[in-house]
Structures are given as structure tokens and as C-alpha cells.
A and B are shown apart, each in its own frame.
Chain A
Amino acid sequence: MTEAMILVDIGSTFTKVTAVNTRERSILSQSLAPTTPTDVSVGLQNALDQLELTSGALQEARVLACSSAAGGLRMVAIGLVEDLTAKAAKLAALGAGARVLKTYSFQLTEADRAEIIELDPDIILLAGGTDGGNSENILHNAKVLASLPKAVPIVIAGNRSVAQEVARTFPESFSTYISANVMPTIGKLQVEPARESIRKVFMEKITYAKGLNRASRLIDSIFMPTPAAVLRAGQLLSEGTAVTKGWGDILIVDVGGATTDVHSLGVGLPTKAGVVVRGLPEPFAKRTVEGDLGVRVSVLSLTEAVDARVLAQDTGWTVEQVESRVQALHKDPETLPQNPEEERFDQILGYHAIKLGVGRHVGRLSELYTPSGLVWIQDGKDLSKVSKVIGTGGVLINSRDPLMMLEGAGQESLALELRPENPSYFLDGGYILASMGLLAQEQPEAALTILQKSLSERELIRRDI
């Protein structure tokens, strides 16, 4: 076996390739070519050709890949109670790297069925009922889904007592996958097995359906959604290996044109005395995606969430100027800033997207007055002691001042949010998070060394004071 390995990230705009030497634990070379949507193997071959030029023969190297092309992995999550199994199903799908189009709770209606047909998901995650608990709901929902005109792969992760029966509800044309319950009992979240099943379906079915299999002659193994690879890299970086210590609790932020992704790695137990945790415990590796916070396609909803007046204040523009720029960005998402003011405007948008996105991701404290005095209730994860925040994705990496945007992660947007209080900031300037998440599957030690080195070299420090 050779020591070289090639990691591929087929993004919606660019196909990025990184070649590493796993024994030396170093990056050999990197290349980039535009993604070719009709046949992704063309873009991939272009990127690989450039790699050959820069680092000689890599013929023997194994090639692993992830992809977010062709709309990424689009899913619908279904559970029984909104705050319980439906939430657990959504968390599982997000953790598997999916874009969750919609989450449904209780019994699916005729209207829901019509909407699901409209949404046309790649995979449906069907949960509901704890083990030995409610079975009626998931059986009802299975019947509704079984009548969909187009067969969709179904991952079943609900009440195990009826899992087989649920699977039998579907006609032959549907592929069904039975996984462990996302919530086996109240208060216990178990998302790993469902995530694994989703990844398996993605490899077996979705890559084919999206034409990504055309690239398969160039790729040896592992095909996962890019966000799943990023989460895997974060997990490795946080936990470390048996040999090398990890970085502990971290936060990864990716602001894009359409969405803002936030990944946290950490248990998130209360860090202050006298706090009681409420609600469903959240996973150690948690991912959230804010579909209304983005700097281009979603700029209208972002502006609505922030308030144009706040943007005006931050930029020194009038509200009218802000609104006309927002309209321009919305009309043509390819718009690039033409002068320093417009560039600063993009940064301010990114800053606010991160501020709000992190605010929604982290837990929150609320006060409860009891006869014996005040009690603090914590919902979600306490990430106030997270010491490292990492920025990734094109908008941050290509920005002249990524730190300014990333600092939004530490800025409270609502009172009592449990966001990082005093973190250090790092940039994934080498575009390697997803690649190292892939490498982590086979060579965790090498992946961790490369990650820690690359990020440490790119710590963002304010120099202007």
C-alpha cells in the first residue's frame, strides 16, 4: 500500500482535491476545478490532472470522496411529538449531513403527503414512539408514505416493537432500512445508528440517483455528504485519538450564500452552579443549519431577521441604501463587491448570520421563580466555555477579514444565550476540514496531526489595537 491518499470534496461550485502523505502526516498538494454538474467526473478529472502536475505520479493513491453537489442530501424527518422524537429525528438527519427540508410531527395528513411529494426528498427518516411505546402513529405515517407515487428510501428509526411491521407496510419498490430508535426512551437520544443508516443509503442509492456514481471509477471508497465529513473532522479534532490529545470543546461555523451551518462538539452540561437542564439532551456532535441566514440567496430573510436599520447603523448607510444593496444581492447571487464599502457590507452580513446562527444553535438559560427562590433552567447545550471557534467555507475563507465575521459567534444576540464567552478563532484557510473528515475514517492519527497543524497556523488574532 502506498502512503499517499487523495481526498476529494465535490462542492456545488468547486471540486477540491487534497493529496496527503499519511506516514509523514503532511499535505502533498492541493488543487481545485469547477464542478461539472452534468457529469461530476469531468471536473474531478480536471482537478486530479492538476494534482498530477504538481506532485508527480499519484496513480497508486487511494481516493476518498464527499459531495455536496446536486443540492446535497435532501431529507424529510418525521416523529411523533415535536419536542421529542420529531426533534430527535431532525437532529439525526442534520448530523448525517442532510438538508432537512421539513420536520413533521403527529399523524401525517393529506396536505402533508401532498407537500412531501412537492418537496421530493432523497431520503425520509421515519421515527415515532419510544421502544415499547406508541406504535399507532408510526404505523399510520408509514401507510401514508407507502402511498407516495414515487418510491423514496425510508430509514426507520422509531419504536422497535413495530419496526418490522412498519417496514412491511411499504411496497417492494421502496427500499426500507431499519435502524435503532432515535429516542429509545424519554430523555435518551440515540442518533448514531440512524446517521450510519442514512450514510449507507446515501452511498448505495443517492450517489447513483444524482449521477455522482459517474465519478466512481475515479474514487475508491467512502462517499458521504460533505457536512457529515466536516462534522467527523470536528469530532476527531475535539476528541483526539488514543495517542494524541484533542482540542476539547469546539465550534465550527460555515456561513454561505444560502445557509449558515453551525457544528458544536461538546456535551454542553451546565457550567454554572444551580442550573437545572431541561428537555431532550442534545448530541455531543450537533449540527444545525439555518436556511434563512445566508449572504446571497437568503439575504432577504437574513435582512429581515437582523433588521435593515441595524445593518444601516453598522454600515453608516441609509436604510434605503441597505435595502437597495440587499435587493441587488438577492436578484443576482453571483454579485461580487466592487468597492471597499460593498465588501464591508458583505462582512457585516456574514457577521450577523453567524451571530444569529450561533445564537440559535447554543442553549439558553431562563429564570424560574419557585417558592424557595430563583431556579435557572437550561435548554440545549451550554457552550460558554468552548475555547476554539473555527470558520470554514468560501465566504469566510475568501474574506479579507474573516475574524470580524467570526466574532459574531461570541456576541450575544439575545439575553442568556450560552455561547462561547472568550474563544480563540481559527480559519480553515487550507480548505481541509471535509478532507480530513474523510481521512479520519481510515487514518485518524494522520488526519488529526494535519488538522491541528493547519489550523494552528491560521489562528486569527486582532492586530489593530
Chain B
Amino acid sequence: MEAKTLVLGVIGSDVHAVGNKILEISLKEAGFSVVNLGVLVSQKEFVEAALETNADAIMVSSLYGHGEIDVRGLREALIEAGIGDTLMYIGGYLVVGSQEWTEVEAKFKNLGFDRVYPPSTLPEDFIPTLKEDLGM
């Protein structure tokens, strides 16, 4: 079977590069075809890369606390581009201040993400779910 394609990147004006590199390495090891856009990635770049590569899923990271604003409209942009059914995950450091995790998760799901991960999520914590979601 052909490898599933993932588009990876850290959204907005966010420069936290370490987690993104770790994700790239571990997802490649897990057998995915990985298109890593790196840090400082705009919504437009996510959408266009997903379109050209026919991506199966988009993995968004946000660490610096502005994730909620940065991702607003991303799902709608994918719909506009004709690839609205692409699986979307988000992780990193989405909690700001002392918010409840369930609240944060609900907020991002509402913004169009299929799965939302809390800080310090390890690759082995979500890769099995990802494979399952992609029917692997």
C-alpha cells in the first residue's frame, strides 16, 4: 500500500522548532510520507501544500499561545480548496493560563480539528490513533 502523506508545520508567527523536528523524524520512522513545512507557516501554505501533495492529514503545531487565533478559518480554507475532508490534528501548547483541558479541546474541535493534543504529548501517544483514523 502507498504511504499516507502528512503535511506538518508550526502555524503563525511561532518559531518553536524542536517539537516539529521530532514529529518529522518519528512520523517518517512510522512509515508516513512527511511534508514538513517547518516553522512560521501560514494557513495558505498549509492549504496549498495539502492540495499539491494530496495529503491525507494535516498536523498543526502551535506552542506560543496564539494558536486559537492562527487556526481560525483553516478548516474553511480547506473546504474552499476542495479538500475539506482532510484529517486535521493539532498539538503543542494550546493551553493559555489556567484553562481546563476539556474546554481547550472542545474549542479546537469546534474550530475544525479532528483531534486535539495536550502539552508533552509523545509520538507514541498519538501515532496509533492516527493510523487508525487513516484506516491503516
A interface residues with partner B (beta carbon < 8 Å):
80-81, 83-85, 128-130, 132-135, 183, 185-187, 276, 278, 368-372, 375, 377
Contacts of B13 in A (CB 8 A): 368-371, 375
Partner of A370, one of B15, B51, B54, B55: B15
**Closest chain B residue, CB of each to CB of A279:** B45
**Closest chain A residue, CB of each to CB of B55:** A133
- A236 to B90 Cα, complex, angstroms: 48
In the complex, whether B116 has a CB less than 8 A from a CB of chain A is no
Stretch at the interface among B33-41, B104-112, B124-132: B33-41
Q: Is the interface of A mostly helix, strand, loop or mixed?
A: loop
In the complex, whether B64 has a CB less than 8 A from a CB of chain A is yes
Partner of B53, one of A186, A369, A371, A377: A186
- A134 to B15 Cα, complex, angstroms: 29
**Closest chain B residue, CB of each to CB of A82:** B48
10 contacts between A and B (CB under 8 A): A84-B48, A132-B53, A133-B55, A134-B51, A185-B35, A278-B40, A368-B13, A371-B13, A375-B15, A375-B40
A374 to chain B, nearest CB (A): 10
In the complex, whether B73 has a CB less than 8 A from a CB of chain A is no
**Closest chain B residue, CB of each to CB of A370:** B13
Q: A130 near B53 (CB under 8 angstroms)? A: yes
Closest 6 CB pairs of A and B: A370-B13, A133-B53, A133-B54, A81-B48, A134-B54, A186-B49
- A170 to B2 Cα, complex, angstroms: 27
Contacts of A84 in B (CB 8 A): 48-49, 52
Known contacts: A185-B35, A276-B40, A368-B40. The answer to whether A129 contacts B14 by CB under 8 A is: no
B interface residues with partner A (beta carbon < 8 Å):
2, 5, 7, 13-15, 33, 35, 37, 39-40, 48-49, 51-55, 64-66
Contacts of A375 in B (CB 8 A): 13, 15, 40
**Closest chain A residue, CB of each to CB of B40:** A276
Q: A135 near B54 (CB under 8 angstroms)? A: yes
A342 to chain B, nearest CB (A): 47
Q: B53 near A134 (CB under 8 angstroms)? A: yes
Contacts of B15 in A (CB 8 A): 370, 372, 375
Contacts of B53 in A (CB 8 A): 129-130, 132-134, 185-186
A90 to chain B, nearest CB (A): 15
Known contacts: A85-B52, A134-B53. The answer to whether A186 contacts B37 by CB under 8 A is: yes
Contacts of A128 in B (CB 8 A): 52
Q: B54 near A80 (CB under 8 angstroms)? A: no
Contacts of B66 in A (CB 8 A): 371
Contacts of A134 in B (CB 8 A): 51-54
Contacts of A368 in B (CB 8 A): 13, 40
Contacts of A130 in B (CB 8 A): 35, 52-53
B82 to chain A, nearest CB (A): 9
- A295 to B120 Cα, complex, angstroms: 62
Q: B40 near A81 (CB under 8 angstroms)? A: no
